[in-house]
Amino acid sequence: MDIATLQAYGFFFFTAFMVVILYSYIYHLYSSQKDGSRDYEKYSNIALHDEITDQPVEEILKDDEKK
């Protein structure tokens, strides 16, 4: 097999691989939203409730507070 053939195979399988990645990512996003294991859409509120006095959507807990 010459280099061009190898490149062609490489290109084909890489493209196929990327397609699989893309679709499984989409499936993952929408299925985990649907079964409730994760709520992505709540993060949109980061922009809507952005006064410094607003409660963060997910607060960072300081280490000393955890203890």
Q: Which residues bind another protein (CB under 8 A)?
A: 22, 25-26, 28-30, 33, 38, 40-41, 43-48, 50-54, 56-60
Phi first, then psi, for residue 22 (nearest 5°) are -60, -50
Q: Are 39 and 57 in contact (CB under 8 A)?
A: no
Comparing CB distances to another protein, the nearer of 1 and 51 is 51
Q: How far is the CB of 64 from another protein (least distance, A)?
A: 15
48, 37 in Cβ contact below 8 A?
A: no
CB of 44 to another protein, least distance (A): 4
